[in-house]
Structure 1
């Protein structure tokens, strides 16, 4: 695989005034999320109850899903040494969707935990298939890597669509993949807290991921168990992707947009960048969700649609920038 490593900027402090301003800005956006919606939470008798049942869970889901997918993209880019990969450009999301479809065909009454577990297993398998492919095939251009991932994802997605068509679940499959926070309510989002554990784990082993991102030879020479770290990274990515896919659906390009924007301004130190990646992931997800809620109110546009448009623009911009830099 091809390494596309920009100039590494000095390592930044973990806590700094700019980060505090970023946290304040995200809190303002989350405040808008809490008080944006069709239902009048102030002028009705059950407004307080609806606020607790729908608005608060939705806002928490925005935080957890946005941070998880952004961090997954960052880890995946480090492990593959490529800035154009993330769960939706490597087929990980499609594999998670296939797992969800499989468990629903076998057991339509399966619990949310069962769906999530199978989705995580399939996401892990799919990510490992992608990583193994990259290890066995020498790719000369950095752009080739995500193209291969998109092709593998397309094959898995086509297989899922065929199975869904044969089992009269094609419409349901489309609904699952349309990433949206509309159905997030109290009692149906709590499993998303698992990704908070994933975020903590990534922060703890951030330095190992950074070293692994230098390549197997260098990582082994400094005493790092490269394959163990790769398995750990793959597992964390699979958990985050599987959980978010089951609860929310597909959030395209989020893991591509956020790490690249952060690295442009702060360099490539994973540990000091993680808080910024989390904040920017939350901010972009929240802004896209707010746009989706208000653009055709009282109806909603799935957040995946807005993210897809934004992600496509950023992806093209990154390609042009890469071409300009040679």
Structure 2
């Protein structure tokens, strides 16, 4: 299965380099040489877009996996816990109070708001008595809905709704050289998650169990919250919101190999990258030469898989 994911990843990445309105093909590259228009477009647009898709898929999948370990629930991810909505609120704050802030500064503010959103969700889940696992993401969706409504209303009153929309709608259409590099920070967070994978596995067994093994539960949770917030912010300022990815991919991997975080991380990263690359290709070709936002394709596929997972878990409970 791992070999299949690797083959699909390479095949989709290579295909993505040559799909688009502009003529970038092996033939045009050989005719134009290193200084031709095709070579320029390949280096300036197609390669950065492909790398961005891989980094977004891998990092968001890992963020969802860590979130599920922290909450001990298979139906949560940044998009169903309000973290993405809090990060979007942070983007609105920078537009209003710090309009000239650099992109790295906007990412930092969004990460702080995302970190706060993660903390709020964890506190709400602890306080609210939720007896069924499927209700936990519903609590997060309600929290995100409230924050999202406040953000949208504020943007409407301030005449910033259109500007906010370009950040909240997931798409790689504007990704090019010099416009995607912050996603490598999300890649760094994946490395940190790999380093702390065994600790996340223990935290997923419960606070008492982790404490009995001598693990600092609060510190591990704090590291996980930072990883989730930074990944969410980096993806938001580069490609916008990509829903359901962090929920679906870890669950599919869990069905195949189980819940060991260290073993699952390469699978989640690879499958997440394949999922985003495939959805990005569909978004580019379904209405060619026009392009559908990536979030629309991912949302449709991800929502269908989310419902299937919910129904599957409920049928197994009976």
Give the alignment's TM-score, normalised by structure 2: 0.95
Paired residue for 1:23?
6
SS at match of 1:40: coil
Paired residue for 2:302?
311
1:232-258, Cα deviation, whole Å (9 max, x unpaired): 101100000011011110100000110
1:156-180, Cα deviation, whole Å (9 max, x unpaired): 1011111101111111222211100
**Out of 203, 220, 223, which is 2:211 matched to?**
220
Paired residue for 1:177?
168
Paired residue for 1:41?
24
Distance 1:187 1:266 in 2: 37
Equivalenced residue count is 309
- 2:293 maps to 1:302: yes
Paired residue for 1:144?
135
Query: Shift in Å at residue 315 of structure 1?
Result: 1.0
1:51-101, Cα deviation, whole Å (9 max, x unpaired): 100000000000111100000001101111101000000000001111011
Contact 2:5 2:274 in 1 (8 A): no
**Out of 70, 74, 89, which is 1:98 matched to?**
89
> Which has more helix, going by share of residues?
2
Distance 2:311 2:47 in 1: 40
SS at match of 2:101: coil
Paired residue for 1:135?
126
Query: Shift in Å at residue 25 of structure 1?
Result: 2.0
SS at match of 1:88: helix
Query: Shift in Å at residue 314 of structure 1?
Result: 0.6
Paired residue for 1:286?
277
* 73-82 or 36-45, larger mean C-alpha shift: 36-45
Distance 1:173 1:158 in 2: 13
Distance 1:114 1:225 in 2: 31
Query: Shift in Å at residue 24 of structure 1?
Result: 2.2
- Residue segments in structure 2 that go unaligned for 5+ positions in a row: none
Query: Shift in Å at residue 296 of structure 1?
Result: 0.4
Give matches, 1:1-326, under 5 Å: 18-42=1-25, 43=28, 45-326=36-317
Distance 1:300 1:71 in 2: 27
SS at match of 2:79: coil
Distance 2:233 2:283 in 1: 23
Query: Shift in Å at residue 35 of structure 1?
Result: 1.0
Runs of 4+ in 1 over 4 A off after TM superposition: none
Distance 1:109 1:272 in 2: 43
SS at match of 1:190: coil
- Residue segments in structure 1 that go unaligned for 5+ positions in a row: 1-17
1:233-289, Cα deviation, whole Å (9 max, x unpaired): 011000000110111101000001101101111111111111110111000100000
Distance 2:182 2:166 in 1: 20
Distance 1:215 1:259 in 2: 19
Contact 2:83 2:144 in 1 (8 A): yes
